Amino acid sequence: MPSKNQRNKANKSKDLLQIIILVTVLVGFIGVIAFAYLSKDSESVKQAETQISYEGQPMIGDANAPVKVMEFGDYKCPSCKEFHDSIYPQLKKDYIDTGKVQFYFTNYQFLGEDSITAGIGGESVFKQNPSAFWKYYDVVYANQQDKHTEWATPEFLTDLIKKNIPEVDAEQVKKDMENKTYLKDVEADNEMAVTNNIQRVPSIVINGKVLENGLDYENIKKVIEEELNQK
Ligand code: CA
């Protein structure tokens, strides 16, 4: 039989072993949490897969602003309306109106045929009068309807233009929507979203870095500030 001393010694080694196991498990656990946290962080910002093309896209802000921000959006998407209503005004006040950011809108219209129609309407307004595009952007989101219904028709959108954007020839925009005059432009925009592996709208690209959650203003601000500090 083992002596009392030997039993004590054996118990002590058992305790020590348990402590070592516990510490190892704890360290491992903390490691996993840290890894998950860091991966989450690197997932929310990723480099665009190809070159983002800014040429020919509607822009608001100072053309010499150091940071280029591009929204990929769909006029029928409720989150894009939320971006327009609550994030864009903050972004405009903090960065666009202060000459730090030039802001671009690029179509990623995939929520039905009328989503494409709304995209063509935007291209048509932009071709007639580049600065009037931003009125179209505002008025379409302000009047967004249920995404499950086909509401963005040439008639509905022409009516909005007539009432809100008098500097644009609304009948010409209507013809362009009916004849799909700028379908290729909308398709080229959509294609840029696809080749950049953009999965969600609104996605926000800041100097080539893609943020898939366009509704996280704190993150948008963080990345803009990082870009500003690099200048
Ligand atoms: Ca475009």
Query: What is the whole-number distance in angstroms between the Cα of residue 163 and the centre of ligand 1?
Result: 23
Query: What is the whole-number distance in angstroms between the Cα of residue 93 and the centre of ligand 1?
Result: 24
Percent of the chain with pLDDT over 90: 75
Longest dimension (CA), the chain: 103
* pLDDT surpassing 70 at residue 9: no
Query: What is the whole-number distance in angstroms between the Cα of residue 58 and the centre of ligand 1?
Result: 7
Alpha helices, H only, the chain: 4-44, 78-82, 88-91, 113-128, 133-142, 154-164, 170-178, 183-195, 217-230
Q: Report yes or no on whether pTM surpasses 0.85.
A: no
Query: What is the whole-number distance in angstroms between the Cα of residue 188 and the centre of ligand 1?
Result: 8
Query: What is the whole-number distance in angstroms between the Cα of residue 190 and the centre of ligand 1?
Result: 9
How many other CB atoms sit within 10 Å of the CB of residue 32?
A: 10
Strand partners, 101: 67
Query: What is the whole-number distance in angstroms between the Cα of residue 23 and the centre of ligand 1?
Result: 56
Structure-model confidence comparison of residues 56 and 28, the more confident one: 56
**Arithmetic mean of pLDDT over the chain:** 89
Query: What is the whole-number distance in angstroms between the Cα of residue 186 and the centre of ligand 1?
Result: 6
Cα–Cα distance, 58 to 168 (Å, whole number)? 15
pLDDT at residue number 39: 43
| pLDDT, average across residues 151-165 | 98
- Could you report the per-residue pLDDT of 160-174, keeping only the tens digit for each? 999 999 999 999 999
